Amino acid sequence: MNKLIRNRNPYEMTYKIGLLAALLLVLILCVMHIAFGKVVVSPQHILRALANVHEEAHHRQIIWQLRLPRTLIALVAGAMLGLAGAILQSITRNPLAEPGLLGVSAGSVLMIVIWITFADGLGDATRYLPLVAWTGGIGTVLFVNALSLGKGMDITRLALVGILTGSVLQSCTSLILLRHTEAVGSILLWMIGSLNGRVWVHWDMLCPWALVIIPLGLLSAGAANALQLGQSTAASLGVSVRRMRWMMLILAALLTAGAVAAVGAIGFIGLIGPHIARRLVGQDARRLFPFSTVVTGVLLLGADVIAQAVSFELHVFGLSSQVSLPVGAVTAFMGAPFFLYLIKQKRKSH
C-alpha cells in the first residue's frame, strides 16, 4: 500500500531534491554574481562586507551599493517572469507559451518608454514605473482578450491576437525611438532587457510589488490544476472557467509588467525556466509554480554573470563608452535554440 502511494507521486522526491539543489545554486550564483565584474572581489571579502565586518571602503561600496541590489533584482525579476510563464503555460496548456505571448511585455515597454520620454519634469519619475508598466500590461491583456472573445476563450486565437498586438506595440516603440534619438540608449535597453545600472532605488521599486504578487501567483496553483483538466471538466468541478482564466491572465500580466518595470523586456527566460521545471517536477502546478519561480531566478542570475563577463564599445552620436552586454541579449542566445528544440519535440510527439 505504501509503495502504491509513493508511486502516485513520482515527482515528489525529485521536487524536494531539485528545490534544495536550486536553492543551493542560488547561493553559489549570488556569490559569483557579486564577485565578478570590472573589479573582482573574493568570496572572503564579500562575506566580510555583508557581515559588516571591517572591510576596505571601496569593497563595501562595490558590494553594497552596486552588486548586491543588482543580484537581488535579477533573482526577483527572474522569479516573476518564471511564475508568469508557468501560469500562462498551465492555463493555455501550451509549453511554448511565455510572458510575451499576449503582448504584455511590449505593452509595458511602450508605456515605460512614453513615460521616460515625456515625464522628465514630473519629479522622481522612476518611482511610478511599476504603475506605468502595469497600465501598459493590463491594458494590453484587456485589449487582446476583447479581440479574442467569441463564444468562449479560444486559446489559439488568443495567442495569435497577442502576437499581432505585441508586434504593433513594438513598432510604436520603434517610432518613438526614431523621433527621440537622444534617448536611444535607454530606450534600446528597455526593449532588450538589461540589469546594467540597477541599484537600490530599483530594488525599492520592485520589492513591494513582488512581495504581494508572487504569493498570489503561487496560491493560484489549485485553480491552474483545475484549468489544465479542460474546460468541461473544470466546470463540472464547480470552477468558473472564464472568471478563473481572467484572474490568472491578469496575475501573469502583473508579474510580467512588474519585472519589465525593473529590468525591461527580457525575452525567452519565462519560456525556458517553466519548461525545465515541468520536465523535473511534472504538471502539478503546486510543485511546478514554486519550482519555476526558483529555476528562472537562477537562470536570469546565471545569464547576468555571463553578460557581465562580456563587454563592448558602444558608439552613440560620436560618443563611445565601454558597457557590459545586456542580459536580454544572453537570454535571446539561450532562448532561440531552446525554442527550436521545443518545436522539434512537439512535432515528434504528433
DSSP 32-49: HHHH-SSS---HHHHHHH
Contact 126, 204 (CB under 8 A): no
Query: What local confidence, expressed as pLDDT, does residue 168 receive?
Result: 92
**Percentage, residues of the chain above pLDDT 70:** 87
Residue 69 CA to residue 60 CA, distance in Å, equals 13
Q: What is the mean pLDDT of residues 274-295?
A: 92
**pLDDT, greater one: 206 or 121:** 206
Task: Write the single-letter amino acid at 251.
Answer: L
**pLDDT, greater one: 302 or 7:** 302
Query: What local confidence, expressed as pLDDT, does residue 291 receive?
Result: 93
Check residue 239 and report its DSSP letter.
-
Model pTM score:
0.89
C-alpha cell at position 39 = 573589479
Give the closest residue to 143 by CA, choosing from 306, 255, 253.
253
Query: What local confidence, expressed as pLDDT, does residue 130 receive?
Result: 82
Asked if residue 260 has pLDDT above 70, the reply is: yes
pLDDT digits (tens, 9 = 90+) for 156-182: 787 788 889 999 999 998 888 888 776
For residue 322, name the pLDDT band (cuts at 50, 70, 90).
Answer: low
**pLDDT, greater one: 94 or 302:** 302
Residue 329 CA to residue 312 CA, distance in Å, equals 13
Range among 22-36, 72-86, 110-124, 328-342 rated most confident: 72-86
Q: What is the mean pLDDT of residues 59-78?
A: 90
Q: What is the mean pLDDT of residues 189-213?
A: 89
Asked if residue 303 has pLDDT above 90, the reply is: yes
C-alpha cell at position 327 = 542580459
Decide: residue 209, CB within 10 A, 0-12 exposed, 13-18 middle, 19+ buried: buried
Residue whose cell numbers read 499576449? 102
CB proximity list for 32: less than 8 A, separation 6 or greater:
305
pLDDT digits (tens, 9 = 90+) for 74-122: 999 999 999 999 999 888 877 778 888 788 899 999 998 888 887 765 5
Query: What local confidence, expressed as pLDDT, does residue 205 receive?
Result: 87
Handedness of CA 177, 182, 187, 188 (dihedral sign): positive
Convert 242-251 to b/e letters by CB count within 10 Å (16 or more is b). eebbeebbbb
For residue 124, name the pLDDT band (cuts at 50, 70, 90).
Answer: low
Q: Residue 131, Cα to own-chain centre: how many angstroms?
A: 17
Question: Strand, helix or coil at 314?
Answer: strand
Check residue 122 and report its DSSP letter.
S
Question: Strand, helix or coil at 150?
Answer: coil
Q: What is the mean pLDDT of residues 126-138?
A: 83
